[in-house]
Chain A
Amino acid sequence: MSARHAAIAVNRFGLGARPGDIDTAASDPHGWLAAQIDPSAIPGPAQGPTAREGLVYLQTEYPRLRQSIERSGADPEDIQRQVREFLREPRLAHIAWRTGAAVTTQHGFAERWVRFWSNHFSVSSTSLQTAVAAPTLEAEVIRPNAFGAFSDLLRAAQLHPAMLFYLDQAVSVGPNSMAGRFMDRGINENLARETLELHTLGAGGGYTQGDVEALARLLTGWTVGGPRLRSAQDDYGRAVFDERLQEPGAQQLLGQRFAGEGQQRAYEALDFIAARPQTARHLSYKLARHFLADEPAPRDIDHIEAAWLQTGGDLAAVARAVITAPSAFDPALNKFKTPEEFLISSLRAVGAPAPNPRQLYGGYMALGQAPFSAPSPAGWPDHAEAWASPDAVLKRLDYAAALAARVGRESRPRERAIAVLGPALSEATALAIARAETPEQGLTLLLMSPEFQRR
């Protein structure tokens, strides 16, 4: 019983077993998880350029770099290539660090928790600014706040430079603000809309277009400092509040009147939305769907929601609710791993060091889930149909075969299968591995087995 629960703790709630992990968790699987609900268990600090470093470079050095290459009469395609290389570096650095952290951490649940919220507040590289800033939000916002209050996390995420650029808040200007009157610029609703639809209340969360517009006006003033705003040098690349952009006047949001001014106004609005019961329901559903099943049972959602409401969105309490949900240790493996989960768990299972950043990036690309490039602000899908397409399964197979070839003949797939799947290892898979023609083939079959592909 405890081995079964330990395997679930490590594989479903963590990032997958390294040999020995299931034994470690076996004496107290629930305790093994609960002990990770602690800021000190979260891997970090992340290495790689900060948002500010990347953006300052972009605002100051980058125009000079570009100019000098252009003046040199270089081929425009060469210039493009050099620019792309430059923009790729922060991403590769962050991907390498977070992959290494995920592959080696003993706190797989804490790291999975970070990644859930990172995907919830998904930012992708869609512009020069997001190319350098998107990889930093997880490190700068999610890791420090993952077991704190949801309202703090929301505030930090929505007002991080990566989010401000990604959802166009950086260029949103109150039409009746000082800047609006002189610059003929207006509101951009993007961040307000996604805040309500994706990050808090959820679609169908009872808000109207009027609420979106009101929140957009409430968020005005928040942008990213830089030469364009003639910010103080010290504010370059930082989220700043600039009162010259703020739309004046009281706003009515979800039936609540917000009359304040200054930077406090956005905080109040975000805190108010964070505390809505629809937010609790939406997030409890998403958590149950991520950890338990694509179509989670209402009783599991209720269980998480109750903790959320009781504690006002204390994410540590919510995490405890997730691991005590009625179906938490249900033996059925209801979740099909995403490509990233598969990649991480495969590296943990084989004990291979993560390959160099470029190879690693190639692996993520081949499997269809390169970090920091989710197709929309909704983040990566969290249900099997999105990932189990025929071609995707074949790509996983090729990846598994290549990894097995790299690991070679010493992989001991029969012993490894028991070590990383525990009681979840089926007789059919054990037999297929035992009958494999080579250890490489056995390891490939282990990594591709129905039970390794799920959690």
Chain B
Amino acid sequence: MTGMITTRRRLLVCGLAGAGLVLPGAAATFAQAPRAAGRKLVVIILRGALDGLAALAPVGERRYGELRGDLALAGGLPAPGPFVFHPALETLAGLFASGEALAAHAIATDYRERSHFEAQDRLEAATPAIRDGWMNRALALMGSDAPGAVGVGQSMPLLLRGSAPASTWAPAVLPGADDDTISRLMDLYALDPMLGPALARALETDAAASAMSDMSGEPGMAGLGARGAGPQAYGLIADAAGNILTAPGGPDAAVLSFDGWDTHVRQGARDGQLAVRLGALDGAIAALRQRLSQDWDRTAILVVTEFGRTVRINGAGGTDHGTGGAAFLMGGAVRGGRIIGDWPGLDRLHEDRDLVPANDLRSLFKAVLAEHWGLNRADLERAVFPGAGAARPFEGLIA
């Protein structure tokens, strides 16, 4: 790890490559046989920027309560050091406890602005100069040994774009606009005397109809939420991905996108909007765990987001675009039960507002590609993450 910041709060830093520490897992890097064969890799992109401080909350930090205000959790599910998992992340916390999940905190790409699009592009391309995805470049590097890859959604995620073949799969029924888009549109219509009231009334009717359909137990909308693409969709996407990944001859790699993490307003703490999303994410993880049970020992699931959120609560009960965020890696192939990387703490903040980006997401990506799929380190640096040599891979993440 690069150790951009060295702090007394360093928890447990694996793969201190700089210190010459090499863990057994790294040996696989040099395996002759295509290590990727049959090794499942699922990347879940939480679009909109997950509040990492809510998912993996440093409740033991001195300034935690003061900075987070109403967003502060009183407690949560067990995690090492000052941290607790959000109470809604039962499955993830369970995997962590059984040594099958790890977390990285205060982690970010090298992007330091605050645009969702640009940050997501950087997350997926890993470099500002290239307009294809790092996963696709990895597949291209593997040539004929490359596993099949699928993007689950309406369009090909940037992560899978590029010269290597990849497919997409989308549910047959187009979801309508999701709740988050609707609430943004309501804001945009605030001063529109015609469209504002019309949309407001439509949503009331829609909610009433949805409530009635829930009561009557009618199928169709069940499980899709009032507007068809709320957090409830995460589970459906995960189910679909699980089915595709386990189909005979199916792909080994999948990229899933879960939208709706941009919690500027009324984020909530133990309960509320974000808690519902975290619960849905947890449900999606459980669904993947269950669907991939035959392949679990050879599975790694990477959960990432484009950046973190501001440490302090804002005036609307939410958080704004930040820098350092959280990432999670889980699966039977993962050497879990720990939090990797540096922990900068909350005493000093990036630009006096964000969690310091002490760790580099590309260190995590490189580690997964090297250890899970057996890509050669030099090839990775040259062809997949050019110009990112400073982000040295974590080591020993995968068994």
Which A residues have a C-beta under 8 Å from some C-beta of B? 336, 384, 388-394, 397-398, 400-402, 405-409, 414, 428-429, 432, 434-442, 444-445, 448-450, 453
Contact = CB atoms under 8 A, between A and B. Distances in A.
Interface in B160-211: 170, 174-178, 180-182, 184-185, 187-189, 191-192, 194-195, 198-203, 205-206
Contact of A438 (B48, B174, B182): B48
Contacts of B155: 405-409, 440
Contacts of A429: 188
Nearest to A450: B192
B248 to A, nearest CB: 29
A397 B177 contact: yes
B199 A390 contact: yes
Contact of B259 (A408, A435, A441): A441
B199 A394 contact: yes
Interface stretch (B115-123, B140-148, B338-346, B371-379): B115-123
B188 A405 contact: no
28 contacts: A336-B194, A388-B194, A388-B195, A388-B198, A389-B198, A390-B198, A392-B198, A398-B176, A398-B177, A401-B175, A402-B176, A405-B153, A405-B155, A406-B155, A408-B154, A409-B158, A432-B188, A435-B262, A437-B116, A438-B117, A440-B154, A441-B184, A441-B259, A442-B117, A444-B181, A445-B185, A448-B188, A450-B188
Contacts of A441: 180-181, 184, 259
B47 interface: yes
Contact of A384 (B49, B157, B194, B199): B194
A409 to B, nearest CB: 6
Contact of B195 (A408, A428, A440, A453): A453
B356 to A, nearest CB: 24
A437 B199 contact: no
Contacts of A388: 194-195, 198
B260 interface: yes
B156 interface: yes
Given A414-B117, A437-B49, A437-B260, 17 more contacts: A336-B194, A388-B195, A391-B205, A393-B202, A401-B174, A401-B181, A405-B170, A407-B155, A408-B155, A432-B187, A435-B262, A437-B180, A438-B120, A438-B259, A439-B117, A442-B117, A448-B188
A212 B181 CA distance: 53
B47 A408 contact: no
Contacts of B259: 437-438, 441
Given A406-B154, A429-B188, A435 B198 contact: no
Given A408-B156, A441-B259, A434 B174 contact: no
A250 to B, nearest CB: 53
A384 B177 CA distance: 23
Contacts of A405: 153-155, 170, 174-175
Nearest to B177: A401
Contacts of A393: 195, 198-199, 202
B83 interface: no
Q: In which size bucket is the chain B interface?
A: 35 or more
Contact of B181 (A384, A391, A408, A445): A445
Q: Which of A384, A429, A440, A445 lies at the interface centre, i.e. has the most chain B CB atoms within 10 A of its CB? A: A440
A384 B197 CA distance: 14
Contacts of B184: 432, 435-436, 441, 445
Nearest to A412: B117
Contacts of A391: 202, 205
Enumerate the 7 nearest inter-chain pairs by beta-carbon distance, A residue then B residue, closest first: A408-B155, A390-B202, A405-B154, A437-B48, A401-B177, A398-B176, A390-B201
B261 interface: yes
Contact of B176 (A397, A432, A439): A397
Contacts of B229: 401
Nearest to B157: A409
Nearest to B203: A394
A336 B198 CA distance: 13
A431 to B, nearest CB: 9
Contacts of A394: 199, 202-203, 206
Nearest to A398: B176
Contacts of B205: 390-391
A390 B198 CA distance: 4
A307 to B, nearest CB: 32
Nearest to B178: A401
Contacts of B154: 405-406, 408, 440
Contacts of B177: 397-398, 400-401, 444
Contact of B188 (A401, A407, A428): A428
- With most chain B CB atoms within 10 A of its CB, the pick from A393, A407, A435, A450 is A393
A449 B188 contact: yes
Contact of B185 (A384, A392, A397, A435): A397
B177 to A, nearest CB: 4
